[in-house]
Chain A
Amino acid sequence: MSEHEVKNLEAIFDARIARDEKIEPKDWMPEKYRQTHIRQISQHAHSEIVGMLPEGNWITRAPSLKRKVALLAKIQDEAGHGLYLYSACETLGVSREELYDQLHSGKAKYSSIFNYPTLTWADMGAIGWLVDGAAIINQVPLTTTSFGPYARAMVRVCKEESFHQRQGFQIMMTLAEGTPEQKEMAQDALNRWWFPALMMLGPTDDASVHTEQSMKWKLKRKTNDELRQQFVDQTVPQAHMIGLTIPDPTLKFNEETKHYEFGELDWDEFWQVVKGHGPCNKERISARKNAWDNGKWVRDAAMAYAEKQANKEVKQAI
């Protein structure tokens, strides 16, 4: 294909997206579109399955049967969401195994917030309330993104995820209304998760490299800073409602803009964690890698069994 022909196809492609048409896997697409989608969808999938680990840390210690089943069901949903997203990614011609290899080798990124440790039960509340809350803000616009399989996966994810944030907030609310010790546990969790949650919405707009292109492809509908502001505006009143204090002494409501103004975020720490130096980066990757490596003989056995059964059927047919 000549350069001119490619330019022409790209113009048609861009026009389709501008008209809100969906792109399906077998449609022609610019190589950059394919690569960007593989990167973003797989990062998203990795975040779901790595995100299972910090919460999984509390399944065996959940304080009541009701909380235990809710937590288990939530983490199970995350496995499901990872599965939907890997499947969407696979329509672009890359296998789940290749994507796992990228995760295990450290080549692929995932949401850096999951590199923080879950130290108390209140962290289950904080994660549901703040981390899932921030995730929803990111995810809802993706239900109308341009790539069909991604958009469909996100519709399913968002539908299922609606209980996750409520589950987390209710844990926090119960703690905040409980004994002084419980309230302190809730406040401590909020203190530790607040800033990582804000940073989860991505680098500031001036430092974000992908925004413009992603906007055009409807992988993004709002900038990181806009999303962050939306998150702060919606979350601060929720904290006040249950009597918890946002750990930001500079936080104040601007009557004119009707927005909360908040303090500087520690981006050095953010980039350190992204680069692999967070408190739990090593544990998270090795847990994923162990699960995969230790499962190899199981997956191989299932394939060997399937092949034997198929051969038996062929022989019977003859």
Chain B
Amino acid sequence: MKNWPLWEVFIRSKNGLEHRHCGSLHASDATMALENARDVYTRRMEGVSIWVVPSAQITASNPHDSAELFDPAKDKAYRHPTFYELPDELKHM
């Protein structure tokens, strides 16, 4: 029989914040994965909401492609507010 698959766990630490990846665990199905996540990752009041995703279902970018994926954004300083120099008198913009 197959081993319990791996799941990735995402926890919202309080309402208003996003779910963040906090670790992984093994479980036979989604129900168990949620229960295990509750027992393993929220023992110290770390969360108010849990997502679990089968690790095998995650499609990840390949580090080999990092240069073409992420480097082109580096020289687009005009996307950031500091690119635009304005007079100091203009306080809020």
Considering the chains assembled together, what is the distance between the CA atoms of A156 and B26 in angstroms? Answer: 18
Considering the chains assembled together, what is the distance between the CA atoms of A309 and B26 in angstroms? Answer: 18
Neighbour of A24 across the interface among B4, B6, B63, CB < 8 A: B63
- Contact flags (1/0) for B44-88 with A, using CB distance below 8 Å? 100000000000000010111000000000000000000000000
- B residues contacting A by CB (< 8 A) are 1-4, 6, 22-26, 28-29, 32, 40, 43-44, 60, 62-64
Task: Assess the A303–B63 pair: CB atoms within 8 A.
Answer: no
- Contact flags (1/0) for A63-97 with B, using CB distance below 8 Å? 00000000000001000100110010010000111
- A residues contacting B by CB (< 8 A) are 24, 26-28, 76, 80, 83-84, 87, 90, 95-97, 152-153, 156, 160, 299-300, 302-306, 309-310
A156: chain B residues at CB < 8 Å are 22-23
Task: Assess the B62–A302 pair: CB atoms within 8 A.
Answer: no
Nearest opposing residue in chain B for A28, CB measure: B63
Task: Assess the A83–B25 pair: CB atoms within 8 A.
Answer: yes
Top 6 closest A-B pairs, CB basis? A302-B28, A306-B29, A300-B1, A306-B28, A87-B24, A27-B63
**Extra A-B contacts (15), CB below 8 Å, given A76-B43, A156-B23, A309-B29:** A26-B63, A28-B63, A28-B64, A80-B40, A83-B25, A87-B6, A87-B24, A96-B26, A97-B3, A152-B23, A153-B23, A299-B3, A302-B28, A303-B2, A303-B28
Nearest opposing residue in chain A for B55, CB measure: A90
Could you name 19 residue pairs across A and B whose Cβ atoms are closer than 8 Å?
A: A24-B63, A26-B60, A27-B63, A76-B43, A80-B40, A83-B40, A87-B23, A87-B24, A87-B25, A96-B26, A97-B3, A153-B23, A299-B4, A302-B32, A303-B2, A303-B3, A303-B4, A306-B28, A309-B29
Task: Assess the B28–A305 pair: CB atoms within 8 A.
Answer: yes
Considering the chains assembled together, what is the distance between the CA atoms of A23 and B68 in angstroms? Answer: 19
A27: chain B residues at CB < 8 Å are 63
A contact face: mostly helix, strand, loop, or mixed: helix
Task: Assess the A304–B25 pair: CB atoms within 8 A.
Answer: no
Task: Assess the B24–A90 pair: CB atoms within 8 A.
Answer: yes
Neighbour of B29 across the interface among A28, A96, A305, CB < 8 A: A305
Nearest opposing residue in chain A for B62, CB measure: A26
B20 vs chain A, min Cβ distance (A)? 11
Nearest opposing residue in chain A for B27, CB measure: A302
B25: chain A residues at CB < 8 Å are 83, 87
B60: chain A residues at CB < 8 Å are 26
A210 vs chain B, min Cβ distance (A)? 27
Contacts A26-B60, A87-B24 given; indicate if A95 touches B3 (C-beta within 8 A): yes
B71 vs chain A, min Cβ distance (A)? 15
Task: Assess the B40–A299 pair: CB atoms within 8 A.
Answer: no
A90: chain B residues at CB < 8 Å are 6, 24
A73 vs chain B, min Cβ distance (A)? 8
Contacts A156-B23, A160-B44, A306-B29 given; indicate if A299 touches B1 (C-beta within 8 A): yes
Considering the chains assembled together, what is the distance between the CA atoms of A299 and B44 in angstroms? Answer: 27
B22: chain A residues at CB < 8 Å are 156
B35 vs chain A, min Cβ distance (A)? 12
Considering the chains assembled together, what is the distance between the CA atoms of A306 and B28 in angstroms? Answer: 6
Nearest opposing residue in chain B for A90, CB measure: B6
Considering the chains assembled together, what is the distance between the CA atoms of A90 and B29 in angstroms? Answer: 19
Task: Assess the B4–A80 pair: CB atoms within 8 A.
Answer: no
B48 vs chain A, min Cβ distance (A)? 18
Nearest opposing residue in chain B for A97, CB measure: B3
B32 vs chain A, min Cβ distance (A)? 7
B4 vs chain A, min Cβ distance (A)? 6
Nearest opposing residue in chain A for B6, CB measure: A90
A302: chain B residues at CB < 8 Å are 4, 28-29, 32
Considering the chains assembled together, what is the distance between the CA atoms of A305 and B26 in angstroms? Answer: 15
A45 vs chain B, min Cβ distance (A)? 13
